[in-house]
């Protein structure tokens, strides 16, 4: 198989296990390209990509832009600050304007759930852009598919296989698009997933996705091979989901003492940005257990693979 | 291998190079190469994935066994990302592994592929090799050259055998169960 079953990457949920394997195996070849003295290939030279970031982002935006430039695409960057959005333009109008400029690929991050699906549903109204492909770079608390794919790639690089592997996702599951995409992906590839965090930050009924739940950090860490530690968003504390950052760090923070209590060595991941001293101490984030910087490095290769596979769909017709 | 698949489909086939002649071709290519290079072991050999690699492995084996020349730098190069027909075909190529454990900067490089046809793979190969530095020189060796079918101004320095084939015919180099080159018709017309 050499093509994705979907026209857009709106989330992990619509992907098949074969799609995921295709993206990850293509990413492996792009990682080799990134080791060359000249790290650029001409594949996307006739493609224009618009990066629409309606929400702040550092690594995702830079990673996408680097991936696009390594593939020789023309790149347009848009960020919500400094745009007409600040003047009250709606998503529909902003998107309409960008689509009218005839772009081939749209990478979008938006604070609202389903924004990418909405944009995808509007494409057919714009003959010049009806062929465009959309990549979700994070929509609200819904999905962040490229992060889940690069997490899976990083785990595979370390362990060689996901089937039967035990992965814990620790922290604010309720507001995390990374957690949701990771759950979908890991389950599709046969990994076991356990969620760990305070009850207020774990959504009710999430067991239906085939995951187990724990509120005890030590139990979870003893169970898992890989711990994916999520960022605690400081504004959540103000909203009353937990009493204080200090208390959170004490019960759910990863530190040296906690790791020393385990009878085995585990791998630690974090999607960034890290709140050092809250969900993980600086010492652990920089330790030999952590593959956080490998995740960032793999992100470029994985995003190159996604753009390459989406743009390569013949004649862009559905 | 593609060849096996086409045989299974019962296509008409014709042998262009028999298993008996194949070693002679490989030996002749070694001699031509040695004639031009006073320090052959310093040449970096880069074979194009996937089929050029099988040819490269066989050729290097003959070079070592018959002529005692060892090539320490043998790379496998995938050209998928450098092809000019990306987005112009129904199916995307699945990239194969690239293994280039050396740089080609200021080196004499020999690029290998099994069949030279339109020249487009070789063009992509040139583009891909240049990502690994600026070679002092770059030569091309092919086992089979299809004459009168080039779409780009590309010729090989070393040719095992020149053949004529129609555009609806395929030339395949097979290494299993025994090495040979066959010609067969495809239903697709050019």
| Contact (CB, 8 A) for A90 and A173 | no
Residue numbers in A near B80 (CB within 8 A):
29
Contact across the interface for A314 and B82, Cβ inside 8 Å: no
| Contact (CB, 8 A) for B95 and B124 | no
- DSSP annotation string for A122-164: HGGG-TTTTT-EEEEEEETTTB-HHHHHHHHHHHHHHHS--TT
- The pLDDT of residue A234 is 78
| Structure-token pair, residue B87 | 């987005």
- Among A85-94, B72-81, B115-124, name the one with the lowest average pLDDT: A85-94
Angle at the Cα of A145 from the Cα atoms of A140 and A146, rounded to 5 degrees: 115
List, for residues B5-44, the tens digit of each pLDDT value: 444 445 578 999 999 999 999 999 999 999 999 999 999 9
Give the minimum alpha-carbon distance from B126 to chain A in angstroms, rounded to a whole number: 12
Contact across the interface for A37 and B90, Cβ inside 8 Å: no
Contact across the interface for A43 and B81, Cβ inside 8 Å: yes
- The pLDDT of residue A224 is 97
- The pLDDT of residue B6 is 45
The residues of A whose Cβ lies within 8 A of any Cβ of B are 2-3, 22, 25-26, 29-30, 32-33, 36-43, 46, 308-309, 311-314
Which pTM was predicted?
0.91
- The pLDDT of residue A84 is 63
What percentage of chain B carries pLDDT values higher than 70?
92
- The pLDDT of residue A122 is 84
| Contact (CB, 8 A) for A49 and A308 | no
Using CB atoms, which residue from A25, A32, A312 is nearest to B87? A312
By CA distance, what is B90's nearest residue in A? A314
* Spatial separation of the C-alpha atoms in residues B74 and B54, rounded to whole Å: 12
Contact across the interface for A36 and B131, Cβ inside 8 Å: yes
- The pLDDT of residue A235 is 72
Contacts of A118 (CB under 8 A, 6+ apart): A91, A92
pLDDT under 50 in chain A at which residues?
316-318
List, for residues A172-222, the tens digit of each pLDDT value: 999 999 999 999 999 999 999 999 999 999 999 999 999 999 999 999 999
In total, the C-beta contacts within 8 angstroms joining chain A to chain B are 58
| Structure-token pair, residue A316 | 């862009």
Contact across the interface for A314 and B86, Cβ inside 8 Å: no
Q: Report the candidate in B53, B9, B25, B19 with the shortest Cα–Cα distance to residue B162.
A: B25
* Spatial separation of the C-alpha atoms in residues B57 and A266, rounded to whole Å: 41
Interface predicted TM-score (ipTM)? 0.84
Q: Place B1 in a pLDDT band, splitting at 50, 70 and 90.
A: very low
* Spatial separation of the C-alpha atoms in residues A244 and A213, rounded to whole Å: 22
Calculate mean pLDDT across residues B66-84. Answer: 95
Residue numbers in B near A308 (CB within 8 A):
81
């Amino acid at each position: 198989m050499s093509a994705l079953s979907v026209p857009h990457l709106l989330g992990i949920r619509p992907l098949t296990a074969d799609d995921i394997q295709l993206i990850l195996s293509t990413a492996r070849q792009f990682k080799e390209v990134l080791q060359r003295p000249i790290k650029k290939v001409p594949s996307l030279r006739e493609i224009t990509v618009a990066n629409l970031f309606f929400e702040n982002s550092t690594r995702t935006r830079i990673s996408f832009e680097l991936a696009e430039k390594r593939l020789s695409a023309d790149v347009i960057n848009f960020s919500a600050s400094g745009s007409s959005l600040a003047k009250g333009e709606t998503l529909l109008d902003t998107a309409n304007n960008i689509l009218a400029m005839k772009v081939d690929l749209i990478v979008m991050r938006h604070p609202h759930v389903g924004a990418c699906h909405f944009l995808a549903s509007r494409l057919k109204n714009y003959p010049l852009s009806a062929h465009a492909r959309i990549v979700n770079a994070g929509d609200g608390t819904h999905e962040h598919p490229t992060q889940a794919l690069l997490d899976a790639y990083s785990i595979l690089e370390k362990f060689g296989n996901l089937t039967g592997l035990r992965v814990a996702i620790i922290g604010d599951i309720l507001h995390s698009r990374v957690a949701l995409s990771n759950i979908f992906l890991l389950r599709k590839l046969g990994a076991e997933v356990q969620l760990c965090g305070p009850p207020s930050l774990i959504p009710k009924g999430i067991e239906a996705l085939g995951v187990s739940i724990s509120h005890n950090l030590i139990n979870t860490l003893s169970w898992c091979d890989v711990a994916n530690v999520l960022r605690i968003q400081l504004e959540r504390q103000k909203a009353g989901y937990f009493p204080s950052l200090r208390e959170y760090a004490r019960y759910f923070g990863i530190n040296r003492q906690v790791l020393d209590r385990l009878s085995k060595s585990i791998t630690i991941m974090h999607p960034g940005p890290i709140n050092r001293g809250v969900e993980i101490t600086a010492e652990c984030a920089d330790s030999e257990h952590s593959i956080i910087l490998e995740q960032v490095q793999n992100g470029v290769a994985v995003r190159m693979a996604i753009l390459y596979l989406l743009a390569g769909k013949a004649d862009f017709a559905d | 291998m593609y060849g096996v698949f086409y045989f299974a489909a019962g296509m008409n086939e014709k042998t262009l190079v028999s298993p008996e002649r194949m070693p002679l071709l490989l030996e002749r290519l070694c001699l031509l190469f040695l004639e031009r290079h006073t320090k052959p072991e310093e040449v970096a050999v880069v074979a194009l994935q996937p089929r050029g690699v099988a040819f490269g492995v066989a050729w290097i084996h003959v070079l070592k066994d018959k002529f005692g020349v060892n090539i320490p730098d043998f790379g496998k190069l995938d050209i998928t990302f450098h092809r000019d027909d990306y987005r112009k075909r129904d199916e995307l190529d699945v990239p194969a592994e690239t293994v280039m454990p050396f740089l080609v900067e200021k080196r004499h490089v020999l690029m290998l592929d099994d069949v030279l046809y339109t020249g487009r793979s070789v063009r992509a190969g040139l583009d891909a090799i240049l990502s690994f530095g600026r070679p002092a020189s770059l030569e091309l060796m092919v086992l089979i050259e299809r004459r009168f079918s080039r779409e780009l101004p590309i010729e090989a320095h070393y040719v095992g055998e020149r053949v004529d084939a129609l555009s609806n015919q395929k030339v395949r180099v097979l290494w299993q169960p025994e090495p040979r080159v066959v010609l067969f018709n495809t239903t697709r017309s050019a």
